[in-house]
Structure 1
Amino acid sequence: MSVWKLVKLNFGRSPAHFGEVGIGMEETSDRVRSDALFSAWVSIYARLFGKEAVEELLQQFPTKCKPEIVPSFRISSTFVYREVDGGDRTIYYLPRPLKFPTNYPDDDLTFFKTYKKLNCLPLEVWQRWYQGTGFDQKADTQELENHSKVGEANGNLNKFGTFDYKKAFKIDKVPKIAVDRVTRATNLYHTGFVQFAWEKDKAGLYFLLELSPESEKLADNLQAALELLGEEGIGGERSSGAGRFEAHWLDLPEIWQQIVNFKDGKYHTLFSLFWDSSITENFLKNASYEIQERGGWIAESQLRRKMVRMFSEGSVFMSPPQGMLADVTPHEFEKLKKHKIYRSGISLSLPIKAKE
C-alpha cells in the first residue's frame, strides 16, 4: 500500500521567481510545476548523495526504453495553501478538473465566466463537487451569479475561500541593473517576484508525495535533500536570496485520506504534469485536457533542453495515467558525452466523479 505525505513549503518573507516558458523575466508564476520541482529535487539529491546514488534513483522510474518500471515515488505540482483564523484553519487549493462536476446545470450563461476563472478550488468545495454530492444547482448557482453581478457572495463557496485565492500572495516587478562585463554599460530591466502572505494570514505552497511500498526507505533521503533545497532556494534569482523555504512533512489529514482513497470515481484528474510516449487514441477517449509546453535552460551550461509537451494539471482521463521520464538532452550535450537530461512526466492523479 502506498504511503502518502503532504509537504508544505513555507517561504516566510522570501520572495520567489517561478518562470514559465515564454513569459520572460518580468512575469512569474505563483507556483512550481511537478517537473520543475522534480528536477530541482533530483539535482540537489545528486549533490548531497553523489552520482551513483542519483543514477540508482533515476533507474527506479519508467522511461521510453523501460516503460514497465513502477516509479519509486510520485509528486504533484505545488499548489497554494492559506492559513486563516489565526492559523486554526488551512485552506488548500486544488486544481479544478476540466470536466464539469455532477449536477452542473446546462444553462450557465449567467455565471460561466466566474466559474471558468476558478482555476483552483478550496479542498472542501473540490471534494463536494467531484467526490461528493456534486454541484448544488440552487445555492451554488445563486452564489456564482451574485459574484458575477456585484463581485460579492455570501454562502458556502465564499465561506471556504473559493473567491479568495489571490489573497494568498501578491506579485510585484522589481527593477534590476545588468552590467556588461566588457563595456561596463548598464541596462535596466524588471523581474517579477511572487511574495506569499507572511503576516496575519500566512500562505505558501504544498504538494502531495506518494511513495511506493518498496521505496518508503527513500523518505529520509528525500527529506534531507528537500531541506537542503529549501536553504538554497527554488526557482530563479536564487543569487538574490529568492525561493528559500522551510519544508514541513505531514501525514495526510483525515479529509485528505478520504480524497486519495476515494473509490467511486469513474474519471481520474491530474495533480501533476503528465507525459507518456505510448499514448493511444483509446486512452484519450472522453478525456478533457490541456497541453503545456515545457523547456528551459540546463543549469550547468548555456544550452536549452529539448521542448516537450505535457498534459497539464486538471486534465481528466477515463484511465489512471502513469507517465514516464522524458529524455530532453540536447544534441550538443550528447556530443560532449555528458549525462542525460530528463524531464519528469510521472503523473499523480486522483479519482473523481464528473458530469457525463
Structure 2
Amino acid sequence: MCWKLVRLNFGQNLAHFGEVGIGLEQTSERVRSDTLFSAWISAYAKLFGKEAVGQLLKGYEEHPELAFRVSSTFIYRRKGNRYTYYLPRPLVFPKGYPGSSEEDDLEFAKVYKKLNYLPLKIWHRWYQTEIGFTEDDREELITKAQAGNEKDIDRNGDLYKAGTFDYSKFFKFDLVPKVAVDRITRATNFYHTGFVKFHREPEKDEDAGLYFLISFPHSFDRTLEKNLKISLDLLGEEGIGGERSTGAGRFEAEWLELDNLWTDILKPSNLINPHYCLISLYWEKSLPDGLLRKSACYEILARGGWIASPFSGRQLRRQSIRMFAEGSVFPILPQGELADVRPKDFKNNHSIYRSGVSVSLPINTSE
C-alpha cells in the first residue's frame, strides 16, 4: 500500500460538523470518513462528470483491492516545526494495564476513560510495542486525577510531555446567533448554530487543524491521485460540513509523505496478539466469519443525513445505516464496502453511496 497524510488547515474559518441526533446548536470537532468520502466524491463529480465518478465508484464493487481508502479526520497540533497527531484510543486495554482493585484505581480509571484520543507517540507505545502501559503511566494518571487544577499536574511525565491531556485545548465550540425569516409571513425565528474553531496563535507560531490518512494500492493510476488532489482543493474552496453558505468549513489541503513514526505504526514489528483498530467507520453487508469473536470490542453508530446530488439538484434524506465506529477492535482485518443509501422515492438513475470502506491499524491487545 502507498500511504499519504493530508492536513486540512482551516485558518480562521469556522466549521459545522453535524452528527445524527445533534441539532444545529451542537457540532463535532472533526469529520468522519463517510462524510469526507461523500463530500470529496461530490467535488470529483463536479469537476470530471458523471461518467468519470461512475467508473471510480464501480471500482469499489469490481476491484475493491484496487480502490483508495480514507480514514476519518482527527486533530493535529503544530508548534513551530513540531506536529502532534491524535488517534482514537482503541476500545481495549493496552498491554500492561493494571487490573488490581486498589482504592485509587477508581480515580485512575476515570481519567483513563476520558482519554478518547491519544497523541501518536503514546498510542504507539501503549498498543504496538513491548513497553505498553507502564507503572509510571499509572502514577501519572493518578496524579492527574488528584490534581486540583492545572498547576498541580506533574509536568515531567511522558504523558504530559506528549500532550496526552491537551486534546480539548486545540479547538473550541462557539454558538452564533441567527435569524430565520419566513418567506411568506415575514415572521422571524431566532436560533443558534454551533461552530468549531481550531486553535490558532500566530504570535506563538501555533495552530491546529484536521488530518487524515489515504492509502492507495501499490499499482495505481497516478492520474487518480492528481485528480483527487484537484477535487480536494475544490472541496476546500467550497467548504466541508454544514453552513457552507456563510463560508464555514473552508480549508487548504497539504499532502505529505509519512515520517518514520507513522511508518512504524503502519507496519509494527513483533505483535504478540495482533488485532485491528479502526481509524475510519466500517460497514459490510455480510460480516466475515470470526470478526465478532470474543476478543472483539466495538461501538456502533447510526449514520444518516441528507443527499446533495449534483446531477439531480434535489435534497432528500438518505437511508440510515448502522456502522462500526473508530476505535473498534477486531481479531481479523475488516475490509468494508460502499452502502447504497438511496431514498426510496429517489427516481434518478444513479446510486447514493455511503462509504463503509475501512482503514485500520494493527495493535497488540492486553491478555
Taking structure 2 as the reference length, what is the TM-score of the superposition? 0.92
Identical residues among aligned pairs (%): 57
Offset at residue 254 of structure 1 (A): 1.2
Contact 1:39 1:343 in 2 (8 A): yes
* Residue in structure 2 matching 1:112, options 91, 109, 113: 109
Which residue does the alignment assign to 2:299? Answer: 290
Q: In structure 2, how many angstroms separate the alpha carbons of the residues matched to 1:69 and 1:272?
A: 16
- The letter of the residue matching 2:68 is F
Which residue does the alignment assign to 1:238? Answer: 244
- Post-superposition Cα deviations, 1:289-333, rounded to whole Å, max 9, x if no partner, equal 000110001124342110000000000001110000011111100
Q: In structure 2, how many angstroms separate the alpha carbons of the residues matched to 1:38 and 1:160?
A: 31
- The letter of the residue matching 1:82 is R
Which residue does the alignment assign to 1:318? Answer: 331
Which residue does the alignment assign to 1:90? Answer: 83
Offset at residue 39 of structure 1 (A): 0.0
Q: Does 1:332 align with 2:345?
A: yes
Which residue does the alignment assign to 2:144? Answer: 147
Offset at residue 280 of structure 1 (A): 4.5
SS at match of 1:343: strand
Q: In structure 2, how many angstroms separate the alpha carbons of the residues matched to 1:140 and 1:207?
A: 28
Q: In structure 2, how many angstroms separate the alpha carbons of the residues matched to 1:263 and 1:278?
A: 31
Contact 1:270 1:312 in 2 (8 A): yes
Contact 2:95 2:366 in 1 (8 A): yes
Q: In structure 1, how many angstroms separate the alpha carbons of the residues matched to 2:25 and 2:355?
A: 26
Q: In structure 2, how many angstroms separate the alpha carbons of the residues matched to 1:216 and 1:261?
A: 24
Offset at residue 59 of structure 1 (A): 0.8
Q: In structure 2, how many angstroms separate the alpha carbons of the residues matched to 1:116 and 1:219?
A: 38
- Post-superposition Cα deviations, 1:146-202, rounded to whole Å, max 9, x if no partner, equal 111115232100000000001111111100010111111110010000000122320
Contact 2:66 2:220 in 1 (8 A): no
- Post-superposition Cα deviations, 1:120-144, rounded to whole Å, max 9, x if no partner, equal 0000000000111344432101100
SS at match of 2:265: helix
SS at match of 1:70: helix
SS at match of 2:143: helix
SS at match of 1:171: strand
Taking structure 1 as the reference length, what is the TM-score of the superposition? 0.95
Contact 2:290 2:331 in 1 (8 A): no
Q: Does 1:129 align with 2:129?
A: no
Q: In structure 2, how many angstroms separate the alpha carbons of the residues matched to 1:111 and 1:269?
A: 24
- Post-superposition Cα deviations, 1:28-53, rounded to whole Å, max 9, x if no partner, equal 00000000000000000000111111
Superposition RMSD in Å: 1.3
Q: Which runs of 5+ in 2 are unaligned?
A: none
Q: Does 1:12 align with 2:11?
A: yes
Which residue does the alignment assign to 1:61? Answer: 60
Q: In structure 1, how many angstroms separate the alpha carbons of the residues matched to 2:180 and 2:264?
A: 51
Q: In structure 1, how many angstroms separate the alpha carbons of the residues matched to 2:315 and 2:44?
A: 22
Offset at residue 212 of structure 1 (A): 1.2
SS at match of 1:59: helix
Q: Which runs of 5+ in 1 are unaligned?
A: none
- The letter of the residue matching 2:314 is S
Which residue does the alignment assign to 1:210? Answer: 215
Offset at residue 281 of structure 1 (A): 5.7
* Residue in structure 1 matching 2:168, options 166, 169, 175: 166
Alignment of 1:181-200 (within 5 A): 181-199=183-201, 200=204
SS at match of 2:254: strand
Offset at residue 70 of structure 1 (A): 1.9
SS at match of 2:200: coil
Offset at residue 282 of structure 1 (A): 2.5
Q: In structure 2, how many angstroms separate the alpha carbons of the residues matched to 1:45 and 1:184?
A: 38
Q: Does 1:349 align with 2:360?
A: yes
SS at match of 1:40: helix
Which residue does the alignment assign to 2:281? Answer: 273
SS at match of 1:37: helix
